[in-house]
Chains A and B, each alone.
Chain A
Amino acid sequence: MDLSFSELKDLIFNASMGSNLPAGVCEDLSFGVTFLESRSLPGGKELLYSLKCERYPPVSPQKNGVSLVFSNSRAIFEGLSAIDLLVSEACKSVILENIDSSILLVGLASNYYGLSFSFYKNKEICAALFNDQLNWENENYKRSKDIEIRLNNSELNNPLAKRSRMLLDDNVFKELSNLASNMLVPESELSRTTGAGAGNIDND
């Protein structure tokens, strides 16, 4: 499905709202997922996967030296909190164990425009983010379960090309659209008659 940037952004916001996520999280996801898709990374698919993953009971992050460790984490909950804590300089790095979507983390971090993030798997840098540029080193990162994020500049220099149009898998589009439709109030006569412009005669 060929979509504009704004269309995808709205679709993700509405799909996230339709999944009962808080509005502020939906905003982060809408920009984050669109950021990924515009770099040809499967943000939409990752979001759907993440929404389906089981959420473990929330546990406070544990301190391990200069790092904060989140065990059994989901990107849209613990991932978002981890990035917030990292940006607030509450720690030098965050470690997300058993993360459901490592890719989504990159998208969520992109909302902090102007900051530099590096993403590591087994101490090896896999991705780096600065402003609008996403450097991508390691394809295996996509399937990583344990991720460390640091707030620093990296020397990676393999920026992913930016697309002006989004090409979303048809099934992903359908599934996201279904979620988005959860936010629509069903038609009713009362609703129609109280809508803007109701009762006006426009043949004048």
Chain B
Amino acid sequence: MIQQKTRISCSHWEMDEKGFGNAVYQLNLFGKDLALIAFSNHLESSQRTDRVIASSWDTSFALFDGVPSISDIERLKTQLPFQEAGRYRNTELVLSRANKSVRMFELVAQSLSEGEQPPIELINEIGYLMRTTAVYGNGKFGIDDRKNHCEHSDFSVPFQLEMLTVYLIRGFSLDLVNHVAKARNPKKFVPLDKKIQRYLGIGNATGLGMAPFLVKHPVLLNNWFQVRETALSRMINLAKLSKEKAERLIELTFRVKAFINSWNTDDDRQKKRIDILKAEWVSLKNEFTLEKLLKINSLKNIFNVSKNYSTECQELIVSLFLEVGGDLIDGLDLCLESTKSPMLHPKMRVHELADLIKKNFSWALKIDFSLKENQSRFWYVSEEKLEPRLGNRYEEEGQDLERPLDIAKRTCTLHADLESIDNDMIVAEFLIKYPEHRFIIRRIQTNAWAPYSEIHDNLIDEHCKPIDMLRCKLSFFGASKFDPKSDRWVRVNLFQGAPLKNELNDQKNDDWWMPTLEYC
């Protein structure tokens, strides 16, 4: 958007003094008119839950294809606040909803209405005014299919339109808090400080749905990791870092400590990880001197050193390297999309299939599924708002309705069945006898050309932590401040430090890696 110098304008704002009403934001991106349509409604505290099973929210949104007419807005007024229970047309590209961070929204509004800026401690502690609790794209509930608009290469990057929606919601949340504060006391009101506005991102609360998504889209998962690994490889194989890049790296490292210090969570496991990261950074930051960075293979050396540190620290280093590599890696985003579908290869001999399992799925073969604890979970979809859930096989009803996320177990079962089969048989013949293996065979064959397509873990293990999968997916969206609320629920912050919607006209504003109030 910065390259395009995109202008986002509020074309419609109809809000009462409490901030209830509707608004429309209009923009043109790559020649395409788009609009965010927003509704803000009163919500009783007793109704405010971020869970999928919620039925009402503080705000609801649609990304609209084109310029919406009054009748479009009127139609969506009767549908959008109901989200999944509404019905939509192909003019809608993305649906979303968000709840206020009540404490934050109220305190910011009150402070501004009294002519003061809100307390920095609270801004640092929460970091956003609203949390999105779902973002739906790709044909859900009747909205347009992704494939209808991704032919335009600028929109072909996965989740591009969803993330645009989230970015626009962030802008709306800032406008709304200013509006409410001004309405409370127009004479004393002061607008929220630009620096604070920029520091505020948009929260997101996420549950189990992201885990089945990753399993259901093996090629997409593969492509995301291929891109990440390719980008990292390009960076660490830079023989000589330019002085400009080295200086930029050093400049960025100054932000790390403050950023990590502003990362709050009540989760014990994550807290420990952050504490370790803080300690490790104290020693690792010494690698980032101009003298060291200008040596041959400096990034590779730092990368190798980081292997001795925690995963959290290793990821920090990867993120830091990628941040200065825009000219080398930005084009890779066009490879994130999944354009090749998994296809069965029925001509493959059974012994070739067995070899693939031994070579690429040894991680699965190591699991003993005769042990109760290795298959105590099952994934299912509840009748209650179609929520994806994870049950205990031995305590809950419904294991006969299990969803196929048990990749490791299916691999082991297939492997056992292959042992009694003539090695020269082809897969097509094998499937006549064992049609139940069609699903896993296609995945194993796909994995031969898409090596990152499978999560190397037992997703039905008693100790499986879905939260790790959620974080994985969210990290590709640039989510930060990972704050687990249980082993299956997480809050994150998106677009913290990103340019505001009226700051997209200047390239220098595209600088928001590890934002802190000091650097916004």
A interface residues with partner B (beta carbon < 8 Å): 2-7, 22-25, 27-28, 31, 58, 60, 77, 80-81, 84-85, 87-90, 111-113, 164-165, 181-188, 190-192, 194-200, 202-204
Contacts and interface: CB of A to CB of B under 8 A. Distances in A.
Given A22-B436, A84-B344, 15 more contacts: A5-B147, A22-B438, A27-B438, A88-B428, A183-B381, A187-B383, A188-B396, A188-B397, A194-B389, A195-B53, A196-B209, A197-B52, A200-B50, A202-B50, A202-B51
Nearest to B207: A196
Given A90-B428, A203-B102, A164 B145 contact: yes
A81 B145 contact: no
B385 to A, nearest CB: 9
B429 A196 contact: no
9 contacts: A4-B142, A24-B438, A81-B431, A85-B346, A183-B403, A185-B380, A194-B389, A195-B389, A196-B51
Given A22-B435, A88-B428, A199 B486 contact: yes
B140 A7 contact: yes
B145 A77 contact: no
A197 B51 contact: yes
B205 interface: yes
A191 B209 CA distance: 15
B374 interface: no
B132 to A, nearest CB: 12
Interface in B125-160: 131, 138-148
Given A6-B139, A197-B50, A204 B103 contact: yes
Nearest to B143: A4
Contacts of A185: 380-383, 389, 391, 397-398, 401
A164 B90 contact: yes
Contacts of B53: 192, 195
A184 B386 contact: yes
A203 B99 CA distance: 9
Nearest to A195: B389
Interface of B: 45, 48-53, 90, 99, 101-103, 131, 138-148, 205, 207-209, 341, 343-344, 346-347, 380-384, 386-392, 395-398, 401, 403-404, 426-429, 431-432, 435-442, 466, 485-486, 488-489
A94 to B, nearest CB: 11
A204 B101 contact: yes
B343 A113 contact: yes
Nearest to B491: A200
Contacts of A89: 347
Contacts of A77: 435
Contacts of B397: 185-186, 188
Contacts of B131: 202
B142 A84 contact: no
B401 A81 contact: no
With most chain B CB atoms within 10 A of its CB, the pick from A81, A87, A90, A195 is A195
A202 B138 contact: no
A23 B445 CA distance: 16
Contacts of A113: 341, 343
Nearest to A4: B139
B346 A88 contact: yes
A24 B439 contact: yes
B123 to A, nearest CB: 15
Contacts of A191: 382, 384, 389, 391, 396, 398
B501 to A, nearest CB: 27
B142 A2 contact: yes
B449 to A, nearest CB: 14
A11 to B, nearest CB: 11
Contact of B437 (A24, A112, A165): A24
A197 B427 contact: no
B432 A60 contact: yes
Given A165-B90, A195-B53, A6 B138 contact: yes
A105 B380 CA distance: 30
Contacts of A88: 346-347, 426-428
A190 B394 CA distance: 13
B398 A87 contact: no
A81 B435 CA distance: 9
B177 to A, nearest CB: 17
A89 B403 CA distance: 33
B417 to A, nearest CB: 13
Contacts of A183: 381, 401, 403
B207 A197 contact: yes
A22 B428 CA distance: 15
A202 B383 contact: no
A140 to B, nearest CB: 29
Nearest to B46: A203
B428 A84 contact: yes
Contact of A184 (B138, B147, B382, B427): B382
B391 A194 contact: yes
Contact of A24 (B49, B141, B401, B442): B442
A84 B344 CA distance: 8
A193 to B, nearest CB: 11
Nearest to B398: A185
A187 B142 contact: no
B142 to A, nearest CB: 6
With most chain B CB atoms within 10 A of its CB, the pick from A4, A58, A87 is A4
With most chain B CB atoms within 10 A of its CB, the pick from A6, A84, A183, A190 is A84
Contacts of A188: 396-397
Nearest to B99: A202
A30 B131 CA distance: 34
A155 B17 CA distance: 68
A87 B347 contact: yes
A7 B49 contact: no
A81 B45 CA distance: 56
